[in-house]
Structure 1
Amino acid sequence: MHQDDIMTDMRALLRFPGERRLAVANCPVPALLPGTILVRTEISVISNGTERQQSSETKASLIRKAWQRPDLVALTIEKFRRDGAQATLTAVKGRLGRPMATGYANCGTVEAMAPDVTDFDIGQRVACAGMEHANHAEYNIVPRNLACPVPNTVSDEMAAFATLYAIGLHAAHQGELEIGQKVAVIGCGLIGQIVAQITIAAGGIVTVIEPFSERRKKAEKSGAKYAYADISTAPVDQFDAVLICSNNNKEARTVIESAAKLCRDRGIIVCVGDVAVNAPRNILYRKEITIRQVRSYGPGRYDANYEQLGQDYPIGHARWTVKRNMAAALSLMESGKLDPASLISHRINLHEASDFLSGGDDPTIMATVIKYHRTDSKPQPPAPVKKISKPNVMPVRIGLIGAGNYMNSVLLPRLKLRKKVALNAVVSGKGLSALAICRHMPDITTASDPDEILSNHDINTVFIATRHDSHADLASKALGAGKHVWLEKPLCIHPKQIGTLQQAAGLSQTQIFMVGHNRRFAPMTARLKQHLVKGKKQFRYQVRPNPLPSDHWLYRPDQGGRTIGEISHFIDLIGYLTGAEMISLSCDWIDRKAGDSVWYMHFADGSRGEVSYMHAARRNMPKETLEVLAPGFSATIQDWRKLVINGNTVMRKGIFKSPDKGHDNAIDCFIDAVSSGIHDHRMQGIAAEISLMDQILSAAEGSRHDAPA
């Protein structure tokens, strides 16, 4: 079954940080990605503690949000210093305006599968895990390693708890629990109850510590042998393992210290809840206490290779992965050794979920299941892209493919100001980023499948700003559909994609094609080019990108790596300034995995260029410095804020103004070309862009690329 045959619209419980509220809203069904399945949700579970905390964070004021996330405040200040007030404000508004999914545990039915997925069947029931995957939504896109088949005798309601029980199983593995061991469970909310159930099923002798009597009674009913209201009253020096399932960081030092007192010599403390590890060294040292942290559902969680690329861990190296923990939980439910039903305190419908989570905290609430009725959740049939109410005489009718940070903060704000354009539709893979745009632009239609834009005859132009591995395919399809194309760099990430682009270019006769190499359109570039002397020149471009988290998608091999994603910007600029053909390009990798490298260029006029792409040692370093040297001439552009020629500052941008990297001029030239059919001399055209990227990819693989004689 193809996803297009199923639906285009659905309902989901979303968080809106900018509006400080939760709401059930209509949004596009997310698009299938490689290695994923489309699941129609039957039941999802609200984890009371975690999700009420998220609800509280969503409703918090900006000051409180800043207090909770000082790391993001630091990044915002750095962006203000680097890019100016307007760009920073746009980025902050874009981040706060983007809806966020809720939920991380559900059960449903497989409706469609990516072509590379063969280990599921259409119509099969599966339990699903993971924030941004197993959401409170009528449909979800779930990676293969975060979905697990459900045994026939296990109900949907029970199976929806597989994720939560996987957390408990991972905690048990971390605690090295064995039959007959004495185990203390601190905190008997939902996860604490689950941990207690699993420990009892494993043959442990469980003591629970929980201030609320209702929770203690529930744990005792499940088989806990002892129960205490306060940790100070529990027996000391007795427990093989102490599992902390509370989330009170204000008393983290007290909790860890008290847990250590409960442990026997060389006991184990397992932090299941959000607990900062903080305690006097002496008590941990005397007993040689081991402290371990539970990372969600088990090995594989937060590993992009496991979650997104579907690469499993060999069982001999990681016995209990996320999926194996889920499968074990479902098997134990099937045998009757685990009982999720006893933990359900409420059953609600999806439309009631926002009000339920907005209510006050109630210690008697354990798990709440959300039911998805087919009668009130039937998907809407595919609808054509909306047309604006008055006749559209604008020649540039745009569809946006991709709705991430770059589209929201750089391209979209500029496109909205252009009078010659009409924005008709926006597509994003998960649909939520597109929904954020639609909420502020009611005439624009949202979707999750690019084909809805490419097949729409009311749209003649597309702006593509998606992840890098999709650029070549989307650009080729757009050209084949007769669309004008603005494509964000890189043009492609793999040599085999060059042929696809060349074929599309051959079929394209009248379409305007442009890669977003905006720096050649910058005012400082124009001023520098006016002053350049004739003859040989030396270009030295130092690029110091700020470090990103090591698991950021830009570093993934299937995305080409960060350097391949950005390097064409700088090589293109040097080529434009020389005005001469680049006859050779080579690359010296300093650290291929990190992307640190030096690129060398020779041009037909004898000029030479060098781009040093090295990650910054600290965030306040200049990101870009371009030096141009020739006999009797020197010039420097630093971070697009200052242009110095022969020792004189000829252009400068104030600290409160955003540096002008040419985005406005580039967009204007593209739109004018679409409107008039006349190319600006600064626009390369598709053949030149393909040639440039071909040289870059060849140089990256270690072969010196010389232009044909």
Structure 2
Amino acid sequence: MTEMKALLRFSGERKIALADCPIPTPGDHDILVQTNFSLISPGTEFTQAQQSKASLWQKAWQRPDLVALTLKSLTREGLGTTVSKVRNRLDRPMPLGYCAVGRVCAIGQSAQNHFTPGQRVAIAGMGSARHAQWNRVPMNLACPVPDEVPDQSAAFTTLYALALHGLRQGQSAIGDRIAIMGAGLIGQMMAQCAHASGAIADIIEPDHFRRQIARNIGVRTCLAQCKDATSDSYDAVYICAPAHGAHTLIVDAARICRDRGTIICVGDVGISGQRKVLYDKEISIKQVRSYGPGRYDPAYEEMGQDYPLGYVRWTIKRNMQAALELMKDGRLDPAPLITSEIGFEDIADHFAKGPKSDQLATLVRYALSPSPEPNQIKHAVNRATPVGSIKAGLIGTGNYSGSGLLPHLIKQSDVDITACCSRDGISAMAMARKLANTKAVSSPQHIMVDVNINTVIITTRHDSHAKLAASAMAAGKHIWLEKPVAINRGNIDLLRDQVASSPAPIIFMVGHNRRYAPMSARLRDVLPTGPKHFRYRVRVSPLPRDHWLHHPTQGGRTIGEISHFIDLIISLCAAQVSDIDCHWLDRQHGDSIWTLRFADGSVGEISYLHTNRREAKEVLQIDAPGFDAQLIDWHKLTVNGRTVMRKRFGQDKGQKAAINSFARAISTGIADPLMPGIEAEINLMSQILDAAST
């Protein structure tokens, strides 16, 4: 068994449905968990459901930041590329759910000392604790469940961790008097946690049903409105209700706070208030960010790196452990908060009915399913030879693959994409839905061992490029590998060893598409012989702080991109590179100057710097005696002061021509003269890494 059911949001189709997708494959720092129960958090998840069903205009109103990026792409890259990007984003389904409990089925290498097969674990995190039959969960987002805690209670662990983190943000202690505004599921759990900590909690909630539940769990004072609460009487006020626009929650909370009290925003609250009310009492306002320290930190969540106990006492996992221990001792009991229980097969209908005021927690029950088939590492026989039809497997189905490569691949009559692979399986499933007779898988091994696949296209994160390329070579596949070829010396050695042990001829191409662009071809036609001076000005916009390229394991953005620009100069110069130097202006951010020297006396300079201004990303200036040329951001090419090529709308950086060349080489067995070959690509990356390390 390799497929499962998962609840997904299909934004492009404006629906929520149970869909078939591959069972995810755990990485080194992950575990694979078969779900027993998941929990529907009505506030967060019904909001997400409503967003999924919104029209395109409503989505634009909700996310003006994405609209700005779309307009920027339209200006720079043109209508076709922008439409492809938007469609790729809308066509990618998104999972629902973030709190569940289940049993461990498989364990990544780095997680083996922390978990055992069959162990019950509570799991957390959007994208990790989904409403799905199986989940791939990072080791720091999973906690063993004590025998005394039943599955129905353990499913609440994530939300209790959120409530505990909220109380820690408010620093509420024994004897403190606190008010909780909003008695939804989180508000009720905040009240329980406050009671367990010795604080005295009052509930402010207009709904009678929810006030009654609060009384059932031991809250003594339940008020219908904030005006009913006594002014200046609470050490802290926790806002657990959503509020946007012109609301008065902050002002109301400030009124009932004592002098120098604290307001803690737990719900989705737009922070707005009157300065005088806050100033007179010197009120502190704090924001709760999910379940505790570690959330949104890739090193913690994805790489399993824990924070030292002496410096960060309460991380996500420690909050989860505390919640489980409190449930074990009976000091936290979620049973009164469960208003319904449904089977997993009915979950889509549950969301279709929409939220109800008399519902808090809904438990989702999963039937026992057969265990997934274990992934066994095998290699197909080396057999890559010229073929008439290309049977391709895509490993990596992210934004670039979906919007940059796929539109060109599907136009190739001799290219048949038979499989798509992503680790979580969801983006692979989304891409497979666009294609005919294409299967979605979650492990590259399925593609490597498939004898019907003769070509592999690799567009994964950078640290996996060399390993996947080596596996594809061992399996005798033709290879398209996105840059960079490698990010460290170990990767280089791995590829060289594999080349030496793989005698079968294969077509190996790195996605250095700029050398295939029409403007590059025109430059090669007009460049004079003899020494030339290349000055390549590259200006890149800063990436978000949490972007995966910032993680140390990925080699950095500069190492990931610089080969693009070096390769273009090499293809234009048509001379042997004798030396590559790198001068780091700011190594941490990647700002650098690269110098290339060629056997014919030519010199190349690349300034790769970050910018905050709206300017051309790429400007290439070429000078020689009696000659000059300038290529401006793939929109305009001038030679000796005269415009010889112009593309007013969009850019053509050569992706289509590069894919055509790759497909033709596989079909005929004859490599294009522009294709450097595997040894040249490995040697170039080796020179780049040597230069970067000095």
Whether these two folds match at TM > 0.5 is: yes
Paired position in structure 1 for 2:125: 130
Gaps of 5+ in 1: 1-6, 385-392, 703-709
**Is the 8 Å Cα contact of residues 231 and 256 (structure 2) preserved in structure 1?**
yes
Map 1:187-336; keep pairs closer than 5 Å: 187-252=182-247, 254-336=248-330
Q: Work out the percentage of aligned pairs sharing the same amino acid.
A: 51
What secondary structure does 2:628 align onto? Answer: strand
CA RMSD of aligned residues (A): 1.4
Paired position in structure 2 for 1:694: 686
What secondary structure does 1:298 align onto? Answer: coil
**Is the 8 Å Cα contact of residues 10 and 379 (structure 1) preserved in structure 2?**
no
- Is the deviation greater in 521-530 or in 434-443? 434-443
Residues 1:609 and 2:604 aligned together: yes
- AA in 1 matched with 2:258: R
**Is the 8 Å Cα contact of residues 8 and 382 (structure 1) preserved in structure 2?**
no
**Is the 8 Å Cα contact of residues 35 and 309 (structure 1) preserved in structure 2?**
yes
Residues 1:493 and 2:487 aligned together: yes
Q: Distance in 1 between matches of 2:539 and 2:390?
A: 37
Paired position in structure 1 for 2:42: 48
What secondary structure does 1:92 align onto? Answer: helix
1:454-513 per-residue CA deviation (whole Å, 9 max, x = no partner) reads 111111111111111110000011011010001010001111111110112121431110
Residues 1:140 and 2:135 aligned together: yes
Paired position in structure 1 for 2:411: 417
Q: Distance in 1 between matches of 2:585 and 2:343?
A: 56
Map 1:102-181; keep pairs closer than 5 Å: 102-117=96-111, 118-181=113-176
**Is the 8 Å Cα contact of residues 36 and 101 (structure 2) preserved in structure 1?**
yes
Q: Distance in 1 between matches of 2:196 and 2:388?
A: 68
1:477 to 471, 474, 478: 471
TM-score, with structure 2 as normaliser: 0.97
Change (3 A) 1:382 1:174: closer
Change (3 A) 1:431 1:145: same
- AA in 2 matched with 1:33: G
1:561 to 556, 561, 565: 556
1:75-102 per-residue CA deviation (whole Å, 9 max, x = no partner) reads 0000001100000000000000001011
Change (3 A) 1:394 1:636: same
Paired position in structure 2 for 1:62: 56
Q: Distance in 2 between matches of 1:380 and 1:303?
A: 30
Map 1:411-490; keep pairs closer than 5 Å: 411-490=405-484
TM-score, with structure 1 as normaliser: 0.95
**Is the 8 Å Cα contact of residues 10 and 380 (structure 1) preserved in structure 2?**
no
Matched residues, number: 682
What secondary structure does 1:249 align onto? Answer: coil
- AA in 2 matched with 1:456: D
1:583-640 per-residue CA deviation (whole Å, 9 max, x = no partner) reads 111111111121111111111011101111111222x311111110111111111111
Paired position in structure 1 for 2:673: 681
**Is the 8 Å Cα contact of residues 462 and 486 (structure 1) preserved in structure 2?**
yes
1:503-541 per-residue CA deviation (whole Å, 9 max, x = no partner) reads 121214311101010111111001011111111111111
- AA in 2 matched with 1:411: L
Q: CA deviation at 1:564?
A: 0.7
Q: CA deviation at 1:653?
A: 0.4
- Is the deviation greater in 393-402 or in 160-169? 393-402
- AA in 1 matched with 2:488: H
- AA in 1 matched with 2:549: L
2:663 to 661, 671, 690: 671
What secondary structure does 1:614 align onto? Answer: strand
Paired position in structure 1 for 2:352: 358
Q: CA deviation at 1:382?
A: 8.9
Q: Distance in 2 between matches of 1:636 and 1:364?
A: 68
Paired position in structure 2 for 1:389: none
- Is the deviation greater in 493-502 or in 436-445? 436-445
- Is the deviation greater in 504-513 or in 467-476? 504-513
- AA in 2 matched with 1:521: Y
1:679-699 per-residue CA deviation (whole Å, 9 max, x = no partner) reads 111000000000000000111
- Is the deviation greater in 627-636 or in 67-76? 627-636
**Is the 8 Å Cα contact of residues 480 and 508 (structure 1) preserved in structure 2?**
no
Q: CA deviation at 1:121?
A: 0.9
Paired position in structure 1 for 2:32: 38
Q: Distance in 2 between matches of 1:251 and 1:80?
A: 34
- AA in 2 matched with 1:351: E
1:592 to 583, 587, 597: 587
Q: Distance in 2 between matches of 1:494 and 1:536?
A: 32
What secondary structure does 1:629 align onto? Answer: strand
**Is the 8 Å Cα contact of residues 541 and 610 (structure 1) preserved in structure 2?**
yes
Q: Distance in 2 between matches of 1:218 and 1:20?
A: 34
Q: Distance in 1 between matches of 2:503 and 2:542?
A: 39
- AA in 2 matched with 1:560: G
Q: CA deviation at 1:381?
A: 6.1
Q: CA deviation at 1:283?
A: 1.2
Residues 1:183 and 2:178 aligned together: yes
- Is the deviation greater in 586-595 or in 673-682? 586-595
- AA in 2 matched with 1:665: A
Q: Distance in 2 between matches of 1:529 and 1:218?
A: 76
Q: Distance in 2 between matches of 1:15 and 1:260?
A: 38
Q: Distance in 2 between matches of 1:173 and 1:157?
A: 26
Q: CA deviation at 1:379?
A: 5.7
Q: CA deviation at 1:299?
A: 0.8
Q: Distance in 2 between matches of 1:34 and 1:544?
A: 35
Q: CA deviation at 1:361?
A: 2.4
2:94 to 100, 116, 134: 100
- AA in 2 matched with 1:37: I
Paired position in structure 2 for 1:705: none
What secondary structure does 2:109 align onto? Answer: coil
Q: Distance in 2 between matches of 1:668 and 1:110?
A: 45
**Is the 8 Å Cα contact of residues 108 and 126 (structure 1) preserved in structure 2?**
yes
